[in-house]
Structure 1
């Protein structure tokens, strides 16, 4: 915005400056031409009359004394004249002072044209007006072969020109100053609606969907403001509709999950009973009983995870904090699930933090279980503490020795129901494990990152504060489903 304002000011100043310089130049040129023309005609006419008066009774051919009197008589008639000169043929017959500015070109023009000729000449840095005329004697205007020249300095006119230039500059500078002032005012008037649009767009991007601008005038900027308001209104309506749809979808998932829990519990009990009796069943019934129990168990886990995600979406999850030894909590999680002997543990003792033990167990179980299901052994779990006891963090790393995660899919590993392998339609998990782990870490004020380290495999890094600072309630926004990868 500042760059645009500066460009507008520069354009205004350049236009104003060019206009002022053009006007000053035209005024200077016209004034100079008028001043010089007036001086030239005054000198030329006076010179013509003076020569005619002095040569009126001159005999033909004139002698040297007469020519000297002619030379001496021409210059005094002009207050500013430097001198006069009289030539006969190619020789100087008589002269006053200052004949240097008389050029051969001027003499050739006077002799060849047989008429009065004048010329502006600069000699030794001083401007002169040189006037020359042939002497014609008697009523017959008989050429005498004599030429008379007058040299008049134009220093006064040059000084007047300098004064004109100074006056022109003195006139241009105030115009430029006014141009800058008007440019700033004009730029401010033009850019003010643009700045308002910029601020409104930022507010809109920040989620203030009720942002609107006041429409003033009927120019292009006013039409742009109307378009912005219409776009903002349409966006607000669409987002509101999406939010309502998302709320309804979450409520539906939560209600369905809740309603399924009771019948699923009964179905699971019967499935377990059938599996226990599978050894007494004939044919395919035994395999069917085992498959039934497996699928019902998967369905129960999916329902439980859906209910957990629904609680996070509804903001109904609360931490029950306790002072916990992290290494002991990790070992207990792995021992409960039978993974203690299958994992490589690097867990220094004595690292204690405030956390919710049940939710921490969910985080570790989901990450380690994901490593066993989709990675390759060995699965390594490491623990380290960073910073002071009260303000520092603890970092838990879970790394497998598998092929890792496709780099293009790393940003999506925590999306709900995301599948790294499109051909893998089913998995042993619910597809929500990593999403639930991330939500639990965020609830503690922490985070989970994933990367492919140089040594291979996938590395999940959990960072939790020693003293949890749960994040502020997030605004309800439309978001796509999320799930675990691979």
Structure 2
């Protein structure tokens, strides 16, 4: 798997294949090791038994039960001739001194030297040991004949010699090397086969996992009708069935929520549209009544007129929000001079004397003048209502991530935004004083400003200035995405 599953060297398939291969390799090595040990033991034991049997048989055949006097030299020559007849063998026979002292043979008498301790032990019976000299293994055998009669008055004249035999085990060593090479080749083939089988096995195991991963990604991207084919009856099939049940439940829930949300938006839009016409008439009538009302009724009439106008603004804002929610909001783009656009917004609302404007007079941008007016009016109106003078609007060119654009910054010197509202100030119906039962604002102005900025492909952020006051920063691309103005077909 890729992506969040990890790098290719740490993926699940690699780990499963490595585990499978490690187990197969360990089993092959254990089998090879056991086979090597057993074969080596059998081969050496067979060679050892053959030499020992030959030494014992030769001593029994060449030494008679009753020895004639002064026959040791003849017997020694016969023993050496017979015992050295085999390939890779050398033999040496030496007499035993009358006092029973045992001396090892000369160093060059055999292929391997004989220690004094080995010679002493050989004087008591048949002994052997394996010796490696110059990289070649040898079997060293020492023996002394028994079961014969000697002359009582001159025992040395009728005492047979001791024999020492060195037998090369190079042939057995070569066979073991050949067997070891065959085991290594077999282990290498087993490793390659294990890797191949592991990849095939893990591919079959991970195929349904990949299907589940692809289905989960599709489900996360909104394709709620995504399902996984259930194959077999193992644990992965159970997982696939669980995924399908979960996807079905999620699809039902999301469909119901979308239906409820759409119904709620239609309700707000319908109610807002239905209220707009009577509210417009009510505002016109109440304004007339407020102008002609007597002094004692004037305050009440003006209060009703103000609240009716506020209700009318709320309805207009709700209608605008419903357009954004329905995706019906569209841009009517035009090449606009930012200095003129900002000045027009301030002049239309009588704020020109209350706001300081700073920016180049010849900066142009491709935007929707009506929606830009709504954004600037909301930001400046918010600063005038909740901040303290001086309120300033600064604009200028600003590129972001290689995209040409313009930025408009609205600042004031008021108390700034409460810490708990900085991150949610653009949410709907959020006000600086949520405990108030009534407010001049609808709680939707900044939300509408944010939606208009996003509609242009820009951003709108809020923060507190280093020296106090709130800072709202609007950035718009010089040419909104999808604007075909000036493009050559």
Tell me the TM-score normalised to structure 1 length: 0.86
State how far apart, in whole Å, the 1-side matches of 2:388 and 2:345 are: 20
Change (3 A) 1:437 1:82: same
Pairing 1:262-411 to 2, within 5 Å after superposition:
262-273=277-288, 275-276=290-291, 280-281=295-296, 287-386=299-398, 392-406=404-418, 409-411=421-423
- Deviation of the 1:58 alpha carbon: 6.3
Aligned counterpart, 1:79: 87
CA contact (8 A) 1:83 1:98 kept: yes
Deviation larger for 432-441 or 64-73: 64-73
Aligned counterpart, 1:194: 209
Change (3 A) 1:87 1:278: farther
CA contact (8 A) 1:102 1:151 kept: no
Counterpart pick for 1:165 among 180, 188, 212: 180
Change (3 A) 1:437 1:56: same
- Deviation of the 1:102 alpha carbon: 2.7
Aligned counterpart, 1:481: none
Change (3 A) 1:82 1:460: farther
Deviation larger for 455-464 or 256-265: 455-464
User: 3-state DSSP class of the match of 2:103?
Assistant: strand
- Deviation of the 1:249 alpha carbon: 0.5
CA contact (8 A) 1:445 1:470 kept: no
CA contact (8 A) 1:101 1:123 kept: no
Tell me the TM-score normalised to structure 2 length: 0.86
Change (3 A) 1:121 1:419: farther
CA contact (8 A) 2:72 2:160 kept: no
Change (3 A) 1:183 1:405: farther
State how far apart, in whole Å, the 2-side matches of 1:271 and 1:237 are: 49
Aligned counterpart, 2:229: 214
Aligned counterpart, 2:51: 43
Residue 228 of structure 1 pairs with residue 243 of structure 2: yes
- What do residues 369-399 of structure 1 show as CA deviations (whole Å, max 9, x unaligned)? 12222333322211112469xx732211112
CA contact (8 A) 1:362 1:437 kept: yes
Change (3 A) 1:363 1:29: same
* Root-mean-square deviation over aligned CA pairs: 2.9
CA contact (8 A) 2:89 2:167 kept: yes
Aligned counterpart, 1:484: none
State how far apart, in whole Å, the 2-side matches of 1:401 and 1:106 are: 108
- What do residues 7-33 of structure 1 show as CA deviations (whole Å, max 9, x unaligned)? 111111111111111111122222222
How many correspondences in the alignment?
463
CA contact (8 A) 1:101 1:122 kept: no
Structure 1: runs of 5+ lacking an equivalent: 472-486
User: 3-state DSSP class of the match of 1:209?
Assistant: coil
- Deviation of the 1:84 alpha carbon: 2.7
CA contact (8 A) 2:366 2:480 kept: yes
State how far apart, in whole Å, the 2-side matches of 1:469 and 1:125 are: 83
- Deviation of the 1:298 alpha carbon: 1.7
- Deviation of the 1:424 alpha carbon: 4.2
User: 3-state DSSP class of the match of 2:145?
Assistant: strand
State how far apart, in whole Å, the 2-side matches of 1:351 and 1:322 are: 14
User: 3-state DSSP class of the match of 2:393?
Assistant: strand
- What do residues 279-324 of structure 1 show as CA deviations (whole Å, max 9, x unaligned)? 610xxx6654443333222211111100111122223333333332
Residue 243 of structure 1 pairs with residue 258 of structure 2: yes
- What do residues 328-364 of structure 1 show as CA deviations (whole Å, max 9, x unaligned)? 1101111222222222211211112232222111111
Counterpart pick for 2:26 among 18, 22, 29: 18
